Structure 1
Amino acid sequence: MRRLFLILRREYLAYLLTPGFLLALVTFPLIFAASVLLPTLLSRQAPAPQLIVMDLTGMGPQGPGAYVAAQIREGRTGNLPQGRAPVLVQTPASLSTAQTPDAAGRAVQAYYKAFGQDPPPPAVLVLAGSAQALDARLWTPRARLLDLSGQLEDSLTDWSRETRLRSLGLSSEAIRAVTGSGVSITAYSPASRTGKVTLTDRLPHLAALGVSYLLVTMILAGSGMILTSVVEERSSRVIEVLVTSAHPAELLLGKVLGILCLFFTGLGALAGAALLIAGQLPQGAVQESVRAVLNGGLLGWAAFFLAFGFLLYGSIFAGLAAFCETPREAQSLATPLSMLMLIPLLLVISGLQAPDSPILRAAALFPPFTPFLMLLRIADGAPAWELATGISLMALTTAGAIWVGVQAYRTGALTQGSANLWSILRRSLQRQG
């Protein structure tokens, strides 16, 4: 036990006293804030899309083109890409002579070819037909994922509905009374503190999602640190001396626990700073978010699953790294495990929409995914048997991973040559035999 503690302290202090650790403490909150604020900032700084409306229906002021233009000018726009409303542009002379959608399409292509790409030309909405069979075509200079289709479809659907109601004899006032009416639903739940479901009640689920992402990030980063440390010791032959001085289990667990303590130190520092900052802010979303993490023991569960996840993956990474002569070999073996850890993130996102999905509940009991998915199940009130089963399976798997990692570490420390997955398994089994 004393040697285990000495190895743990060595690994812990080796990273704690480096400038990189202090730099990470400062940069991590900045990177997190940038990831939240940067998309909004980019959206606000992006120029508003331009739009040309070509109405070939011949309906004049009552046509769909005039309706869409009025909605844009009055700011009655709903489904906007990136929250940016389009700006209307006058139809150029080269497009005004088109009489059919096909002719308009050919004219738009020639217009784009002559316009250039910097700045990009405006989008062109070509309308033809009638309210019963409206032909709407949106031409864009680039085939982007985000365009104006959603907003324009809503506007044209409203126009078609109002036109048909007017043909049935309804007045404009009656149409506005019908289309403007709506019903809002207020959600209630006995699980809510106030009875009425608010964002505060949903914050634990969002906090569980954020913490799950954080766990994956930390376990990936920590496993990479373990990988690098073991490969350096093996390439410098230090590992051979260490194996003769301490038991392989002490060496492996000392490395894993040392880096785990390092991450707990960083988390403690960040959590303390967040609490101090939140305490100085007025009552609002920030304080509610902090309470969502602290209430219900979510922070304690996060630390618990971080420890088990780190032991699980760290032991495997350390065992594999013991067979590698270079970081490149280690990365080739570690890549499949790293990709495996990304699967729970996809399930967590889906779990916010379907928390009771049988697939999610089964995946939360799958030990490699339990440290990440069980947090979401806890936030959703998982039954005691599910939590106990998940923890038991994860504990058994972690113990098995430590045992396998120790055997691989012992065998790899005294093995020469490049890493090979099948040779790793064969040599480990021969060692046990």
Structure 2
Amino acid sequence: MIETIRAAFVIARRDFTAIIFSKSFFFFLLGPLFPLIIGIAAGGLGQQVRQDIDRPVIGVALEEAQAAKLADARAALSESLGNNAIPELLVLDGVAPNDPDIRARLDTASKPLTAIISGSLEAPLLTGSERDVKRWSGKVALLSETALAGSNPVAVKTDFVAATGSSKKRTQIATAQGGQIILILLTMILAGMVLSNLVEEKTNKIIEILAAAIPMDAIFLGKLFAMLGMALVGITVWSTLGFVGVSVVAEGIPDLPAPAVGWPLFCVLMVLYFSMAYLLLGSLFLGIGAMATTVREVQTLSMPVTMGQLLVFFLAAFTVTKLGEPVEWFAVVFPFSSPFAMIARAAQMDNIWQHGLALIWQAMFTLIIIRFSVLLFRRNVMKSGNSARKKSLLARIRG
């Protein structure tokens, strides 16, 4: 094992140095300027996610008779205006209309609440974040007027709080979506370098020379981590330029919605999950390179993998608003979607231990794919070399 690690380090240092100090590396750094269309396309899926997270639930802390009238008014208005135009109502059991601790009820209900109606139908008080209260105060006034069946307009009093569980959830989901899009863009831009490097060395017969002196497991590991190091260098350059550009244009870095685990740990997890997504896809590309003998075969075999990676990303993006549901658990357990699903969890859940388990699982699956790729390489490349030597010996006998 130690010898394999040493050999892998030698291969990684060789490939990393050759790539970083090549002239083409500069043009590689310009790569993110072109595939931005992928991020725009992914925004279409985000529209569906926004529809899931923007369904408001307003708590009702009124007397039982008035709460029933308000529910009837909502049912009547939903028929005429549409169900999505009127917020969902949730009657809060055990909460008095004049409860002095009404703010604390926002985050203790059975569902995440956008706001709470208290007081009375004649003088409703809407408690919530400033954004939500301003957005829904008109609809609350309409509900109260419909429930009272009167012609007099109802004035809604407002009570703003810093943030509610609902608004906090929206910002965390936005952070999760951003993290997933960054991961898929970087992975698709950078992972193909592994495949092109392996095919080039197969064509030049360099890989067979290395295989005669170093175990194939070490060669594949070395190449994979060399490409990962190169990718991290590129990301560091892009991130630095991006922060400098944003600071200059916006006169400082704007405040972004904080993820559940906090920004420092979230950034560390972004690097780790990118590394695992890159290693998983890169190891799969190594297996493709082991089977392919020409550039045309590489293009034919790599296209389904690339499309499959997009499908995996769409699966993980679809489950952002479905934490704990079976489809979300499947995205977490399935190795190729696991990095994207777990970065979404990091934005919305603060329990850190699950990330350790996920990283170990992804690393184990990467080693399994690398081992399988090595077997494919030995069967296709090394076997072809043995066949050539046998044919040469047979020709000598005939001669």
TM bucket (normalised to shorter chain) is: 0.5 to 0.7
Q: Please name the residue that 1:101 is paired with.
A: none
1:28 correspondence with 2:53 = no
Q: Please name the residue that 1:297 is paired with.
A: 265
1:242 correspondence with 2:210 = yes
Q: Please name the residue that 1:403 is paired with.
A: 371
Distance 2:196 2:355 in 1: 34
Distance 1:335 1:33 in 2: 18
1:343 to 295, 311, 315: 311
Q: Please name the residue that 2:93 is paired with.
A: none
Shift of 1:253: 1.1
Letter in 1 for 2:29: L
Give matches, 1:8-27, under 5 Å: 8-26=12-30
Q: Please name the residue that 1:415 is paired with.
A: 383
Unaligned runs of 5+ in 1: 40-164, 189-193, 418-433
Distance 1:267 1:290 in 2: 22
Distance 1:295 1:250 in 2: 36
Distance of aligned partners of 1:334 and 1:350 in 2 relative to their CA distance in 1, 3 Å threshold: same
Q: Please name the residue that 1:224 is paired with.
A: 192
Distance 2:240 2:258 in 1: 13
Shift of 1:384: 5.1
Shift of 1:322: 2.0
**1:208 touches 1:298 (CA, 8 Å); kept in 2?**
no
Structure 1 SS opposite 2:256: helix
Distance 2:358 2:373 in 1: 22
Distance of aligned partners of 1:327 and 1:30 in 2 relative to their CA distance in 1, 3 Å threshold: closer
Bigger shift: residues 233-242 or 258-267: 233-242
**1:364 touches 1:373 (CA, 8 Å); kept in 2?**
yes
Distance of aligned partners of 1:265 and 1:411 in 2 relative to their CA distance in 1, 3 Å threshold: same
Percentage of identical aligned residues: 22
Which whole-Å deviations, capped at 9, do the CAs of 1:141-179 have from their partners, x for residues lacking one? xxxxxxxxxxxxxxxxxxxxxxxx9xxxx99xx6xx87x
Distance of aligned partners of 1:183 and 1:396 in 2 relative to their CA distance in 1, 3 Å threshold: farther
Give matches, 1:40-51, under 5 Å: none
Which whole-Å deviations, capped at 9, do the CAs of 1:317-350 have from their partners, x for residues lacking one? 2133123210221232333322221123222432
Distance of aligned partners of 1:329 and 1:294 in 2 relative to their CA distance in 1, 3 Å threshold: farther
1:5 correspondence with 2:18 = no
Letter in 2 for 1:245: A
1:361 correspondence with 2:365 = no
Letter in 1 for 2:343: L
Shift of 1:29: 5.4
Shift of 1:260: 0.5
**1:7 touches 1:251 (CA, 8 Å); kept in 2?**
yes
1:321 to 285, 289, 304: 289
Letter in 1 for 2:377: Y
Structure 2 SS opposite 1:415: helix
Give matches, 1:34-433, under 5 Å: 194-196=162-164, 202-280=170-248, 287-289=254-256, 295=263, 297-381=265-349, 383=351, 386-416=354-384
**2:285 touches 2:302 (CA, 8 Å); kept in 1?**
yes
Distance 1:203 1:29 in 2: 27
Structure 1 SS opposite 2:255: helix
**2:176 touches 2:320 (CA, 8 Å); kept in 1?**
no
Q: Please name the residue that 2:128 is paired with.
A: none
Shift of 1:279: 4.3
Q: How many residues align?
A: 276
Bigger-Rg structure (1/2): 1
Q: Which structure ranks higher in relative contact order (CA pairs < 8 Å, sequence separation ≥ 6)?
A: 2
**1:186 touches 1:196 (CA, 8 Å); kept in 2?**
no
Distance of aligned partners of 1:278 and 1:294 in 2 relative to their CA distance in 1, 3 Å threshold: farther
Shift of 1:290: 8.8
**2:335 touches 2:365 (CA, 8 Å); kept in 1?**
yes
Structure 2 SS opposite 1:287: coil
**1:226 touches 1:314 (CA, 8 Å); kept in 2?**
yes
**1:319 touches 1:412 (CA, 8 Å); kept in 2?**
no
Letter in 2 for 1:287: P
Distance 1:283 1:195 in 2: 26
Distance 1:322 1:274 in 2: 37
**TM-score, length basis structure 2:** 0.58
| RMSD, aligned CA | 3.9
Distance of aligned partners of 1:223 and 1:187 in 2 relative to their CA distance in 1, 3 Å threshold: farther
Shift of 1:31: 6.1
Q: Please name the residue that 1:144 is paired with.
A: none
Distance of aligned partners of 1:184 and 1:33 in 2 relative to their CA distance in 1, 3 Å threshold: farther
Distance 2:275 2:22 in 1: 23
Distance 1:354 1:185 in 2: 32
Distance 1:358 1:184 in 2: 42
Distance 2:35 2:158 in 1: 37
Distance 2:209 2:155 in 1: 76
Letter in 1 for 2:186: M
Distance 1:184 1:317 in 2: 61
Letter in 2 for 1:16: I
Distance of aligned partners of 1:262 and 1:224 in 2 relative to their CA distance in 1, 3 Å threshold: same
Letter in 2 for 1:238: I
Which whole-Å deviations, capped at 9, do the CAs of 1:221-242 have from their partners, x for residues lacking one? 3332221222222222222111
Distance 1:229 1:307 in 2: 18
**1:323 touches 1:415 (CA, 8 Å); kept in 2?**
no
Distance 1:256 1:185 in 2: 58
